[in-house]
Structure 1
């Protein structure tokens, strides 16, 4: 048809960083956005959230979402507010989790703007949130759910299919068929032996593969994370310390609760008070119950893990925990210490060397979690410098991301090599390390694209 451009893929995010996943697919003059995430971490990356999207939101025909984490979904409220009127396609589990995560994200951004206004710490007058909780709630009306393994049509004659990715509830790989070619997006791939989620579906045949590389330059430790967690808790409890577990509210909180319930059942840790101080994680429990087909948990395991901790909902209850002292365990979000109630606990208990801070997964560069993991002793929390003397442990064994070996094993299942593999969603060193492994061990054509680069789907290079 005259005037139509050949199908193309543009990388609008998750290049040179592990956040901000956004991929624009163009076909028959239609635009499909796969992922719509927030940039996180370093300020230069966060500032990209304030830069208008490279295409008009009103010109985007549909969004296809792999899963609910904010680095994949968190820009949706801004997209809808700025004129997007199409559907946001996701699995049912992802849509349910987004109903928690997106309004909470808007609320936290409003809180940050109010704080910046009170303290006059912003260069903008008045400081404004990227979007509000009301924007986020309104954007939820755009969601339309589709089941795993059930192809559905997008504008431009594109056929999309969600395939299980593991990782968290609802997480999917996205397979697109368009103009006689296929493009496969990993989203975030889970682990083969995750205690909570089933493994990701093996890679099938595709012309173009777009893969994450979060752990592209490392492998997870070979030990037993449950035993490691038990040893840390026993050691810190003996000195009457507080164990603060910074857990992603969706996914890692459940894994931590599962391990704690098993440790207590066999008396491997002392029976000290345990608090789940994350209303979002509490609310997510019902969602995991409704989607039993997606995870490995037997009913007795599910019931035991949610009995193990006292849920903390109100802000007043949360503040009281800072007066209680140890020994106790507090599980709270956010997992990279970018916000949330965990920051108040860090301010209260971080300066005491009897206490411990457990980082339960990947820490993106520029976050407070990354600073602690690298040995930092000072955190800026709500305008104050907090000196950290507490023991800091990064438990990468708790991660829900496939590591470098697992990514290679997943790719090796493909019946044939893709025409091209693009490596995204990783820090530069991780992305390049995975590129080298894929080239040398699999012999595939592979490269790391640049931010905003556009490539042909028919003739990928």
Structure 2
């Protein structure tokens, strides 16, 4: 059996792990690369195997860095089955359509503004190509055995992180391979704690926060303080947010604060059409999260929900203080850019970063103190206050990741660390080895191993 890391190794984006065994080829996740240009350019490169020869794709969850390359895979000949949970299917469909729409818009803007190095800028894929993925989805239930082949079985178990997210156990060649996917937190605001594996021969564990411990701070109080301080200056609060889970978590906390009378009566805006549609997924899958149906309804009443872009423009030019939640979470695209074009140069503005920012993203640059940022080919001076609330991350930290291994009844032959930049991954490797004595290695992009 051969395992090849063709994404999500040495980086937190582009998750793709290829498994070849006895004539069967399986791809665990099929993510889009984001961040620095050398990574983004990998999205245009062919896979090291013909997509037409891949039999199955198993999706851990619906985030873009785990499903966003599927339209390319299908366009290049993949005709197999894509297995995932029902919420993941719903989320992936929304995310792929949104991704395709943004790419089409970005290509059009680049052509109109003549700021692409290419004579004609093209989207990575179109909305129509994204739709070609949908008929290939096959829904699986949590904890039920899925027979992929006569001698290959898969079981999906709850991973926390976002709604529908799962760890995948793969029984193949009489070996149990466990692919963690993205592991959620043990004390997440909305999601239930991830299910820990009990046995495994080989583990492929994410390491996003392999060298960090989430601060033991009062996230609600931080949000309350930042909002009140900004409104007292007459400013606007912009919260770049992932449309899935993070936007809903921030909405929930704001709703609690408003209900408690701790934040002012100003407009609270959710301007991410996909994030708004995700609310339907939450309402239709209440067993996956902690919110009751009534809480979902009451929470939504507080927010102005913007779908039409003309309403975005109206909100941008409304001078009164407001709180805006808008995608994308790493400030790589989406409507948050339109708000930042107007507000990033105003010292009374506060931008609150509430999630992981990959290397090379605008969000990472803002956190690192960038004096200006480039949006749609133009540079904007950063005068706004840039703050971070680390306690809202949907990823488990170092302690959560180490704890996730604590129920193993056997010693795995090897633990491969994936989905992490090299320094965090290596620090996690050291901690796992010290605590459990497991043979643990950091996976490298393009590396192929024999099991």
Q: What TM-score does the superposition give when structure 2 sets the normalisation length?
A: 0.98
Map residues 297-446 of structure 1 onto 2, 5 A cutoff.
297-446=291-440
CA distance in 1, matches of 2:408, 2:297: 38
Cα distance, 1:301 vs structure 2 = 2.2
Cα distance, 1:156 vs structure 2 = 6.2
Map residues 127-206 of structure 1 onto 2, 5 A cutoff.
127-155=121-149, 157-206=151-200
Q: Which of 37, 45, 51 is matched with 2:45 structurally? A: 51
Please list the CA deviations of residues 243-290 of structure 1 after superposition, one character each: whole Å capped at 9, or x if unmatched.
Answer: 001110111000000001100111111111101111111111111011
Secondary structure of the 2:432 match is: helix
CA distance in 1, matches of 2:182, 2:160: 8
Please list the CA deviations of residues 361-395 of structure 1 after superposition, one character each: whole Å capped at 9, or x if unmatched.
Answer: 10000000000011112110011101111111111
CA distance in 2, matches of 1:156, 1:29: 12
Q: Is the 8 A contact 1:14 1:21 kept in 2?
A: yes
Question: Which residue of the partner structure matches residue 288 of structure 1?
Answer: 282
Question: Which residue of the partner structure matches residue 116 of structure 2?
Answer: 122
Cα distance, 1:417 vs structure 2 = 2.2
CA distance in 1, matches of 2:108, 2:256: 42
Q: Is the 8 A contact 1:28 1:156 kept in 2?
A: no
Q: Is the 8 A contact 1:237 1:326 kept in 2?
A: no
Q: Is the 8 A contact 1:213 1:423 kept in 2?
A: yes
Question: Which residue of the partner structure matches residue 211 of structure 2?
Answer: 217
CA distance in 2, matches of 1:174, 1:197: 18
Q: Is the 8 A contact 2:83 2:139 kept in 1?
A: yes
Please list the CA deviations of residues 91-125 of structure 1 after superposition, one character each: whole Å capped at 9, or x if unmatched.
Answer: 00000011110011111111121122223322333
CA distance in 2, matches of 1:450, 1:223: 34
Q: Is the 8 A contact 2:33 2:40 kept in 1?
A: yes
Q: After TM superposition, what 4+ stretches of structure 1 lie above 3 angstroms from structure 2?
A: none
Moved more, 161-170 or 410-419: 410-419
Q: Is the 8 A contact 1:153 1:160 kept in 2?
A: yes
Moved more, 256-265 or 146-155: 146-155
Q: Is the 8 A contact 2:110 2:376 kept in 1?
A: no
Question: Which residue of the partner structure matches residue 67 of structure 2?
Answer: 73
Name the Cα RMSD after superposition: 1.0
Question: How many residues are paired up?
Answer: 451
Please list the CA deviations of residues 314-337 of structure 1 after superposition, one character each: whole Å capped at 9, or x if unmatched.
Answer: 110001111112311011000000
Secondary structure of the 2:224 match is: helix
CA distance in 2, matches of 1:54, 1:116: 30
- Structure 2: runs of 5 or more not aligned: none
Cα distance, 1:308 vs structure 2 = 1.6
Whether 1:110 and 2:85 are equivalent positions in the alignment is no
CA distance in 1, matches of 2:168, 2:274: 26
CA distance in 1, matches of 2:268, 2:39: 36
